[in-house]
Structure 1
Amino acid sequence: MKAIQYKDYGSSDVIEQVEVPKPSIQIENDVLIMVKAAGVNPIDIKTRMGIMKKTRPVQLPFIPGGEAAGVIAAIGSNVSKFKVGDAVIALTRKSAYTEYVTANENLVVLKPQSLSFEAAASIAVTIGTAQSVLFTEGKLEEGQKVLIQGGGGAVGGAMVQMAKAAGAYVIATASGKGVALAKSLGSDDVIDYKFQDVAAIINDVDLVADTAGGEAQVNLFRVLKPGGTLLSIATPPSQELARRYNVEARFVASNITSETLQNGIDLIDAGKFRPVVSKTFRLEEAASAQDFVTAGGVNGKVVLLVE
């Protein structure tokens, strides 16, 4: 079968298309999925570049890809939730850039009939991460004020929709086409960070969800109310600034499960969440897809189509 892999860490030049044996079920609670589409995430690029060697080492050669949508081709002897032929969304952790992949049934959910496979492949990581930041860690409640740094991106856009569905007052930062996108997803206010100083406009925020990191993160401390919380999925925030502003600030690694993913599926079924796919590439264009994500400014998710 076709697969995308790399044998060494490095730039996108290390990515190659190869023929590898079709996987078989080795664990009784796994399912085998015929992949129709796979999501492309920043973690795929960081892993390929070797940035994650210490925290998330991989065995080379490595087939990337942490999420997929497709059709179940076989099931393990202990699988009870699914049957062959079910259309599903899976958090695979690895090896989704291929024609077939295995996944534990506890990291798989049924694909909503309203979603195409390409849309379905865009949501597992975004919904799971948004759920982890806003609710598992951020404890966001109805009526609270939340600022989402990067509301036009894939994860940020998911956060906007899920926070709004929970009854929060949602403020997003974005730029370019992302401003209109964040508004269309339900943001009450959108700050164009290239032309406006968010800290000069916004204050008294309960929760800041930072998807961008970098120098812009420093400014986010100023918008929080005393006792507020800043959570980042990009870079660990300064503890010195947290003490200065009397807030809590920490880095969050998302804990994605089928339950957290199902919360997003329920919102889709209720018409309160829509996936946003920025651009699709063919499987053999995986290097170009990763370069597109690396370039930044992507509004929505990048997806690989497997034919």
Structure 2
Amino acid sequence: MKAIQYKDYGSSVVIELVEVSIPSIQSENDVLIQVKAAGVNPIDMKIRMGFMKETRPVEMPFIPGGEAAGIIVAVGAGVSKFKIGDEVIALTRKNAYAQYVTANENFVLLKPKSLSFEEAASIIVTLGTAQSVLFTEGKLEKGQKVLIQGGAGAVGGAMVQMAKAAGAYVIATASGNGVALAKSLGADEVIDYKLQDVTNIAKDVDLVADTAGGDTQRKLFQILKPGGKLLSIATPPSQELAGQYSVNAYFVASDISSKTLQNGIELIETGKFQTIVSKIFKLEEAAVAQDFLTAGGVNGKVILLVE
């Protein structure tokens, strides 16, 4: 089969298209999926650049890709939830940049019928991360005020929609075309962070969901009410500032499973969630796709089409 491999750590020049054997089912609870589309995520580049050597060590050569949409072509002896021919989405953690990949059935869901494979490959990490930040850790409730930093990105856009569906008052930050996109997704207010200072506009926020990190994160402490939460999926927040402003602030590692995806899937099936695919590349264009995402300013998800 065709697959993308990192031959070593480094820039996108280490990415190559190779021919490797189709993986075989190793566990009785695994399924084998013929991949139709795979999502491109920031962690793919972090692994490639060697930033995850301590927390996510990998052996080179390495096939990246943590989420896939496709068709089940084989099942393990213990699989009870799926059958051959089912169209599914799967969290794989690795090996999704390929024509075939295995996944544990507990991290597989039937693909929503309304979505194409490309759209379906865009929702796994985004829905699971949004659920983890907003509800599992953030405990967001109806009527509360939430600010989503980066509300036009793949994860941020999911957060806007899921927070709005839960009855929260949603403020999003975005720039350029992202301002209109975040508004169309349901944000009550959209702050153009390149033209406006968020600290002059947002006040008494219950929850800040930070997808950007960096220096901009430090300003977000000022807009929280005492006892509020700043949760980041980008960089660990300053505990010194958390103490100074009497808020809770910490990094959130997403818990992505069939359970955490269920809320988002229900929103999709009832027409209350819009998938956002920014651009689709062919599998052999994986290096270009990763560089496109790394360049920043991407509104929505980057997808690899696997043929």
Shared fold, TM over 0.5: yes
- Give the 3-state SS of the residue equivalent to 2:180 in structure 1: helix
1:118 Cα deviation from its structure 2 partner? 0.1
Amino acid at match of 1:123: I
Amino acid corresponding to residue 126 of structure 1 in structure 2: T
Count of residue pairs the alignment pairs up:
307
Deviation for aligned residue 1:6? 1.1
The two structures, once aligned, show a CA RMSD in angstroms of 0.5
Give the drift of 1:186: 0.4
Secondary structure of the residue aligned to 1:215 is helix
Distance in 1 (CA, whole Å) between partners of 2:289 and 2:165 is: 31
Equivalent in the alignment of 2:217: 217
CA-CA distance at 1:147 after TM superposition: 0.2
Partner of 2:244 in structure 1? 244
The yes-or-no answer on 1:283 pairing with 2:283 is yes
Counterpart of 2:22 in structure 1 is 22
Partner of 1:59: 59
Tell me, in whole angstroms, the C-alpha distance in 2 between the residues paired with 1:67 and 1:39: 6
1:114 maps to a residue whose letter is S
Structure 1 position 108, deviation (Å):
0.3
Tell me the distance in 2 between the aligned counterparts of 1:2 and 1:200.
52
Q: 2:135 maps to which residue?
A: 135
Alpha-carbon separation, structure 1, partners of 2:254 and 2:112: 23
Distance 2:268 2:274 in 1: 6
Q: Give CA deviations for 1:165-189 in whole Å, capped at 9, x if unaligned.
A: 1000000000011101100100000
The equivalent of 1:229 in structure 2 is 229
Instruction: Give the aligned partner of residue 3 of structure 1.
Output: 3
Q: Distance in 2 between matches of 1:172 and 1:185?
A: 10
For 1:95, the equivalent position in structure 2 comes to 95
Whole-angstrom distance in 1 between the partners of 2:62 and 2:266: 34
Query: Partners of 2:260 and 2:176 in 1: how far apart?
Result: 31
8 Å Cα contact 1:109/1:262 also seen in 2? no
Question: CA–CA distance in 1 between the matches of 2:13 and 2:256?
Answer: 30
Q: Secondary structure at the match of 2:303?
A: strand
State yes or no: 1:264 paired with 2:254.
no
User: Which residue of 1 is the match for residue 298 of structure 2?
Assistant: 298
Give secondary structure in 2 for the equivalent of 1:160.
helix
Alignment of 1:147-226 (within 5 A): 147-226=147-226
Question: Which ranges of structure 1 fall in alignment gaps of 5 or more residues?
Answer: none
Helix, strand or coil: the match of 1:64? coil
Rounded Cα–Cα distance in structure 1 between residues aligned with 2:121 and 2:84: 19
In the superposition, the TM-score normalised over structure 2's length comes to 0.99
Q: After superposition, give the CA deviation of every residue in 1:10-48 in whole Å (9 maximum; x if it has no partner).
A: 000000000000011110000000000000000000000
C-alpha distance in 2, partners of 1:200/1:112? 41
Which stretches of structure 1, 4 residues or longer, exceed 2 Å deviation after superposition?
none
Are residue 77 (structure 1) and residue 77 (structure 2) matched? yes
